[in-house]
Structure 1
Amino acid sequence: MRNLFTILFLTIIFCAKAQEQENKFYSDAYQTIDNMLTDKQKYSFKDGVFSVENAYNQGKLNTEGLERKIAFLTNFCKRLTINRKLNYSERDEDKVNKYAAIYTIMCQSTPVIFGKDTLKIKPFTYDFEDVFGHRELSNLFVSKLLDTQKGNCNSMPYLYKILAEELGVDANLALAPNHIYIKHNIKSLGWYNTELTSGIFPQDSWLMASGFIHLDAIQNGVFMKALNNKESLALLLVDLANDYNRSFPDNDGSFPLKCAERAIQIHPYLANALLLQAETHKRLFQKIMKEQSTKDIHLVLSNPKAKELYELMNKEYAHIHKIGYRSMPEDMYLDWLVSLKTERAKFEDTRLQK
């Protein structure tokens, strides 16, 4: 009997340590991103992305292999900038040439000469399977994109930004409903959009055509704003919290709220973070309802903690609506995404064809 109790005790200790170790990966990823936000650590979007993905993979992410793939793509871009000449002569020619190289290797078949043979490197393509990561969250990851050359509007712009920074140039992420894309500012055109899921440079009219971008959302920087590097790191904090929720669905809400609050400090109108905050409070409120075995909201509100959560989440949802955020149904999102190809002539930015 004593041996049985010893085994049970050691099992409990082991499980507790395992849980602590699992949480540690997320804490380390948070610290990595926060250190970059406070300039205690050199900024690297790549390091931020891989720290998040490594936390979800519990320290098992093959970062060395991914680094080699990033290095290969970066060197490929460099070779393109050396071996071809763009019809562009403004002062930022070098920067624009690098943007064009990244676009080429990500969105176009690229011929490569090996001795007497010419091979075509296939582009990255959009993966319409599990677009939102409902079945498996890692389908949104850059690591999955690098392993399969299939990605989505999360992983593809993230990889583009990583490659741009590896080449020593900037790239701005921008948000639309359920969507991330790239914005660039160059001498000849000013701002223009790069849409990697379809390999097209769309006008802002395509974004507005979704019907879910309110004028207030544009004015407040909820949508269509070129995110700076720290705001992009704030977006990674939201990813980190969502990954944590998937790993630990019954968590007490403290870590997701910590991520959301830090992200909001950096970008007060980051809808992803505001929604994370409100939905975490909603989940905690629903947990109290479940514990009290009731669906009667008014009955639960007699509990001071439940009342606090209820008032918080209603205030937060009202604020999210006030700043112009509107959610887009997933099936409508996919139709809108496909419309860029089916109505390409209508939405493409013709300035880039000159």
Structure 2
Amino acid sequence: MQKRIFLFTLLISISLWSQDQEKVYNDTLEQLNCMLKDSCQLSFKKAVMSVENAYYNNVLDTVGFNFEIKRLTSFTKSMVKHIKLKYQGKDSLKVKKYAALFSVVTDTIPIVDKNGVMYEYIPYVYDFEDIWGLKNWDSMFVSKLLETGKGNCHSMPYLYKILAEEIGTDAHLSIAPNHIYIKHRNEIDGWYNTELTSGIFPNDAWLMASGYIHLDAITNKMYMEALSDKQSIAMCIIDLAQGYNKVFPDNDGEFVMKACQVALQYYPHYINGRILQAETKKKVFEKEVKKDFDVFTKEVYEDDFLRLQFLEIQHEYVSIHESGYRRMPEEMYMDWLNSLKEERKKYENKKITNPDKSN
């Protein structure tokens, strides 16, 4: 009898915990939507932190998160004061900030404290374990990067953009197949790429060398665009929806579809959002088929409602393919990243690297 009471109490506790987290997710989506509608102050740091906090069901160490960001912000500002550039454009202060940000995220920096003791600031490094968060979704998180010093092409650009916001400058996220990097612009050199996972400034030829950037994908603004702040928040909303799927794998698709609709309103060609929307419709469709017919048969296609659903899903997948999307396998992705190190001279943007600056 006592065992049954314990199990019953445990089930109620789990149910209440689940309901609480559902509320956290809905509140977070509303907060991000509020930023996009200009009803709330737009803050990339708050957006990222709230998405990660939702995944942890409101127990993320936000004090520790903010403390680390404040510490890195202070360090970056001190770097700005000491960096010397050969760059002579009118926007040289902005370029100094870019250089400081890059150093803080990617460089080993010697530091002398007030007592004259020298030590080294150790930069963040690429984590080759679970690079797309397939085993543990929080492998994608900035909080994990801050705690362990290891990150990936999701968390490192996110941290960079957060710090840029904190020191009062811009940093544009940009998308390549299964990859995020940074785009900057200065008045002399124009737009250029900043690659944090390898710590160099690659030219566009490297991005095209992957073989997975179709010309249609560029024409349709799927890849290589400098994203606006609102588009970056839309990316956070898709992150939120993907995290929701991890926490509630058997969900009915309602929350995820709502999140996709909000995100795609502000960033309609975001490929991760389009794919998530199509996959969610497919999952809902398959549940309907299983409930009513068990398996997909001719009778399914004779059902007007299900037939229309099926045709709509087919149309979405065809549209995604025609827009230029091609999924890059993980092995090829790693080879592509490694090509930056192996063929650095070939792909480095020489206008931005050493000849143009001296620290």
Q: TM-score by structure 2 length?
A: 0.93
Q: Give the equivalent residue in structure 1 for 2:108.
A: 109
Q: Distance in 1 between matches of 2:317 and 2:292?
A: 24
Cα distance in 2 between the residues matched to 1:19 and 1:130: 26
Moved more, 156-165 or 264-273: 264-273
Question: Deviation at 1:317?
Answer: 0.8
- In structure 1, the partner of 2:153 is 153
How far residue 300 of structure 1 moved from its aligned partner, in angstroms, is: 2.9
SS of the aligned residue for 1:143 comes to helix
Determine the C-alpha separation between the residues in 2 that align with 1:38 and 1:148: 35
In structure 2, the CA distance between the partners of 1:120 and 1:91, relative to structure 1 (3 Å rule), is: same
Tell me the equivalent position of 1:286: 286
Residue 230 of structure 1, CA deviation:
0.4
1:109–1:120 CA contact under 8 A, matched in 2: yes
Which deviates the most, 212-221 or 306-315?
306-315
Structure 2 equivalent of residue 51 of structure 1: 50
* CA deviation map 1:266-320 (0-9, x unaligned): 1121111111110001111222343356443534334444323312211111111
For the residue of structure 2 that corresponds to 1:352, the secondary structure is coil
* 1:200-211 alignment runs, 5 A limit: 200-211=200-211
Q: Distance in 2 between matches of 1:292 and 1:334?
A: 43
- Greater mean deviation of Cα atoms: 277-286 or 48-57: 277-286
Question: Could you tell me which residue of structure 1 aligns to residue 39 of structure 2?
Answer: 40
CA spacing shift, 1:89–1:11, aligned 2, 3 Å: same
Determine if contact 1:207/1:213 at 8 Å carries over to the other structure: yes
Letter in 2 for 1:65: G
Q: Tell me which residue corresponds to 1:74.
A: 73
Contact 2:293 2:300 in 1 (8 A): no
Aligned to 2:189: 189
What number of residue pairs does the alignment pair up? 353
The Cα offsets for residues 131-173 of structure 1, whole Å up to 9 and x where unpaired, read as 0111100000000000011000000000000000000001000
Quickly say closer, same or farther: Cα 1:290–1:107, change in 2 above 3 A.
same
The question of whether the paired residues in 2 share the 8 Å contact of 1:198 and 1:340 is answered with yes
Q: What one-letter code is carried by the residue in structure 2 that aligns with 1:225?
A: E
Deviating more after overlay: 261-270 vs 83-92 = 83-92
Aligned with 1:170: secondary structure? coil
Q: CA RMSD in A?
A: 2.0
Residues 99-143 of structure 1 show CA distances to partners (whole Å, capped at 9, x for unaligned) of: 100100111101110222211111100000010111100000000
Q: Matches of 2:293 and 2:169 in 1, distance apart?
A: 56
Higher relative contact order (CA 8 A, sep 6+): 2
Give the structure-1-normalised TM-score. Answer: 0.95
Identity of aligned residues (%): 46
Q: Tell me by how many angstroms 1:52 deviates.
A: 0.4
Partner of 1:301: 301
Aligned 1:113-192 pairs, distance under 5 A: 113-114=112-113, 115-192=115-192
Q: Distance in 1 between matches of 2:296 and 2:37?
A: 45
Q: Secondary structure at the match of 1:120?
A: strand
Q: Which structure 2 residue ranges, 5 or more long, are not aligned?
A: none
